[in-house]
Amino acid sequence: MVNKYFVYEFMPNGTLCQHLQRERGDELAWPVRLTIAAETAQAIAHLHSAIDPPIYHRDIKSSNILLDYNFGSKVADFGLSRLGRTEISHISTAPQGTPGYLDPQYHQNFHLSDKSDVYSFGVVLIEIITALKVVDFSRPPNAVNLAAVAIDRISKGRLDEIIDPLLEPNSDSWTLSSIYKVAELAFRCLSFHRDMRPTMIEVAAELEQIRLSRWVSTEEITCAASSEVSPCSSSSNLSEQPLSMAVNKKFGLENRSLFMLQMTNVGSVNLMKKLKDNSQVSVQGPWLSEQSFRRTVC
């Protein structure tokens, strides 16, 4: 008799949910949270755009984002995932997922698409900003659902009321502005109508741009994404070489292709190669133990 075993990568820092809820370790600083968000977006974009047929995860949530020794993120638990179809906009299937993360339009009309994962990821972005539970019955009745609270506060210009104070948003201008940019992106991901939501490639590109803006101005990032050979003028002291090369050398801009497609209308081939070669998708598959199928609300 031959015994077969599955061996999975050990993720010593647990889940994103555990850290946001202060269940383990110190609180995560904003740059770390933003990097986790950017890497997770790349993983989901890989599922949607670098695989044929595409894969719809159906259960994107903070407790399914695992963290390695360096807080690099991996998307796990494919127990509810479904294969999509590139030739149609959605597939019809009974709604499944975790309360608080579930796409309301999918819940209403049974139409599952890549935008269902986009909605769920929008909820994760709100978690990252607020460190609040997605569903919490200890809150007032109109605030039980975190997505509803976020949509209300962001639309009214009152985001500051729900930002995690441990992020110290007013400590510097970049932290505050980047939090607001991520919140605005999350707001678009949480649109009720799926056609109003961005794709995960667009989400990944925008998060990478926000992350890099800590060191490089938006103008420099745009210039770096626009050309490999054309020099760009800059007030910084990087060098006189083409900025795309200078930024790569100084800041390790290995994910440039992720925002190239958003900044210009070229580079889709490089983007697909990047997503295929450097996916953050976990090796975990639908044959995991019964714990993989247990729906928990974080």
> What are φ and ψ of residue 30, in 5° steps?
-60, -45
- Per-residue burial over 154-174, b if 16 or more Cβ lie within 10 Å, else e, is beeeebeebbbeebebeeeee
E-strand stretches of 95-151: 111-112
Name the strand (E) or helix (H) holding 218.
helix 218-226
Contact 57, 78 (CB under 8 A): yes
Between CA 14 and CA 227 the distance in angstroms is 40
Q: Pick the catalytic residue from 59, 77, 103, 117.
A: 59
Active site (annotated) includes residue 59? yes
Inter-CA distances, 44 with 154, 239, 260, Å: 25, 35, 18
* Catalytically annotated residues: 59
